[in-house]
Amino acid sequence: MKKQTEAFVSVALIAALLIVLFVLERVIPSTSMLFTVLKKGAIYALVAVSMNLLNGFTGLFSLGQAGFMLVGAYTYGVLTIPVDQRANVYMYYDGGLIQFALHPILAIVIAGIIAGIFAYLIGLPVLRLKSDYLAIATLGFAEIIRAVFQWDKLGPLTNGSNLLRNYPSYKSVLFYFAASGVCIALIVLLINSTYGRAFKAIRDDEVAAEAMGINLAHHKRIAFVVSSFFAGVSGALLAMYQTSIQASMFKSAMTYEILLIVVIGGIGSITGSCISSFLFIILSEWLLRFLDSELVIGGFKVPLLRSGFRKVVFSIIIMIIVLFFRQGIMGTKEFSVRGIYNRITGKGRKAQKGGAADE
Amino acid sequence: MSENVLKVEHVTMQFGGVVAVDNLNLEVNKGEIVSLIGPNGAGKTTAFNVITGVYPPTNGAVYFQGKKIVENHPQGKMRRQYLGENEGKYDHVIAPTPDRITKLGIARTFQNIRLFKSQTVFENILIAEHMRRTSNLFTATLHLNGAEERQMRQEADRLLHIVELDDVRDELATSLPYGKQRRLEIARALATKPSLLLLDEPAAGMNPQETDELTAFIGRVRDDFHLTIFMIEHHMDLVMEISDRIYVLDFGKLISQGTPDVVQSDPRVISAYLGVQEDE
């Protein structure tokens, strides 16, 4: 299959997806659970891919994602609340410090940049650490960020531990898909560039990578800042989706959810992260909801079903994955048009690296 | 004197109270193949690690093409423990990271093969081109550096052809047979366009036939790439055949140096390392 054909088919598939979404929005009422799930899935796909860039492609085991999402979400909220609403939102802080509002798109980009700046500063001490120690330190910093944002003294800026609300948000699923899609495309382009090759070299063998003239500190910092930038963007999107935010939402449990998505999808697979984030959100928010509510069928009360049982089922699923399916859904492979084509025609069973066709 | 590519001067490397390398002095001249031999634990790899910037030495300096690239002096706690004699001679600290040393033109291989495991032979070679990039993060991400990218790939392919690995170009590096993995590691070091190549036991674990091939390969590489080669090796046949000069280390100290004939007949070397040839 020619390269142009492949690109054309890929673009056509994406266009078809967007058209389907567009039509669905016209047909199904907008309050449907389907849209809630799709929006959240798109946001989680972006943050999972950004975590995969760090954990899967650069080999830096970081658990700070929720912290950077919080920074992004707050930046978005603080910068976009309309001026006439500020007195209402910042009621305990005399309307707050900032008395202007930016365009949402601009605010999303700034949210990413601020998260990136936080990452740069945190990275200075933290990126000297290796493996588990890095995970612990980043997790600690994420918790510190959360505590600082709830600090009363910063109230005029962050509204303390009170909700940020009344900021503008886009309602359409298409917006979330487009924003998240553009960001994921940028990450894929980065991974396929010469910098991406350097990241993978660092993941495979730090000592050898350094001997090949790759500046470890510089490249780790790039990966950390870029990953946090996109975590910040997804935080802004999450703020938009939830219409109100509070620092206490961004607990370490959120990071674990994202990590779980990355592991289920396959560490080192972008498409794996995307697929598993939708799968995860659909299951946890929608299909497995019934586990949390009591169910009575013809006078018979189904045992075990009660509030919190969903978490038990999820824990069991995680254990099964970790024990038996360590590769996740995709391993390190990518889902691609060429891979499918090769599988259908039975061609190039071995030749195409990274295609879905190789075993 | 001006011809030496590498000069190691009074280098002492202590780990706490353990002296891994003790007052090492050596020179490698342009175009030579020089070997560093000695029993296990003699400090050979440590000497390599000091030259390539993995550890800053406790004391001493390293010169490359006449320029000082590494320098250090014992300080604080180390000063009390320092067991060498040249303490006052050095006062600056020059401690570049290994990637800086590679950029200067010193490439190395490793004792236990360190290939990029998840990547193909071609990608392993291609990574060396990264350090010569002119694109930045943004132009590379947006793929605006097409010309540079093409040139990188051409360079990598050209090198693969020279080292005769183009038939396994798209295989996973770790799927190659052992001898070829060694060759790939040398090729990867060559891809950084060095003028000095450090080989750390290139023939370790090889059978006699592979060793012969490697001997020919190293000689050919030296001529084709106008290299100077400094290597650690245990295969005496290989060492004696291709070395111009040999240094012998034992317990961190230099015990002998000279041409293969001189070293082979040096009684200190025979007792410490080579062993006595007994007629049966």
Q: What is the per-residue pLDDT across A135-189, written as a single tens digit (0 to 9) for each?
A: 999 999 999 999 999 888 888 888 888 888 888 888 888 899 999 999 999 999 9
pLDDT at B124: 93
Contact between chains at A201 and B137 (C-beta distance less than 8 A):
no
Mean of per-residue pLDDT scores for chain A: 86
Contact between chains at A204 and B116 (C-beta distance less than 8 A):
yes
**If you search the block for the tokens 């020059």, which residue do you land on?**
B94
pLDDT tens by residue, B229-267:
999 998 888 888 889 999 999 888 888 899 988 888 888
pLDDT at A345: 76
Contact between chains at A211 and B98 (C-beta distance less than 8 A):
yes
Q: Give how far A190 is from chain B: nearest CA, Å.
A: 4
How would residue A6 be classed by pLDDT, with cut points 50, 70 and 90? confident
**What Cα–Cα distance (Å) separates residue A113 from each residue in A72, A75, A248?**
8, 10, 22
Chosen for mutation from B48, B104, B106, B116 (greatest number of chain A CBs closer than 10 Å) is B116
**Amino acid at the residue A261:** I
Contact between chains at A208 and B110 (C-beta distance less than 8 A):
yes
Q: Find, in chain A, the residue whose alpha carbon is nearest to that of B108.
A: A211
pLDDT tens by residue, B56-108:
998 999 999 989 999 988 887 777 778 777 777 888 888 899 999 999 999 99
User: Cβ(B65)–Cβ(B7) under 8 Å?
Assistant: no
B chain contacts of residue A209, beta-carbon cutoff 8 Å: 116, 127
Contact of B102 with chain A, judged by CB distance below 8 Å, is answered with yes
pLDDT tens by residue, A49-67:
999 999 999 999 999 999 9
Selection from B113, B120, B180 nearest residue A358 by Cα? B120
A chain contacts of residue B126, beta-carbon cutoff 8 Å: 197
The β-bridge relationship of strands B59-64 and B4-15 is antiparallel
Contact between chains at A194 and B115 (C-beta distance less than 8 A):
no
ipTM of the complex: 0.89
How would residue B1 be classed by pLDDT, with cut points 50, 70 and 90? very low
pLDDT at B114: 92
Phi (first) and psi of residue B163, to 5 degrees: -90, 10
Domain coordinates of chain A in residue numbers? 33-254
Query: Which residue among A195, A204, A213 sits closest to B117, beta carbon to beta carbon?
Result: A204
Selection from B194, B187, B192 nearest residue B227 by Cα? B194
Q: Give how far B19 is from chain A: nearest CA, Å.
A: 23
The chain A residues in contact with chain B (CB within 8 A) are: 186, 189-190, 192-195, 197-198, 200-201, 203-205, 207-217, 222, 226, 268, 332, 351, 353
The C-alpha atoms of residue A166 and residue A168 are separated, in whole angstroms, by 7
- What is the rounded end-to-end Cα distance, in angstroms, of chain B? 46
Structure tokens at A39: 């929006």
Whether residue A346 is predicted with pLDDT greater than 80 in this model: the reply is: no
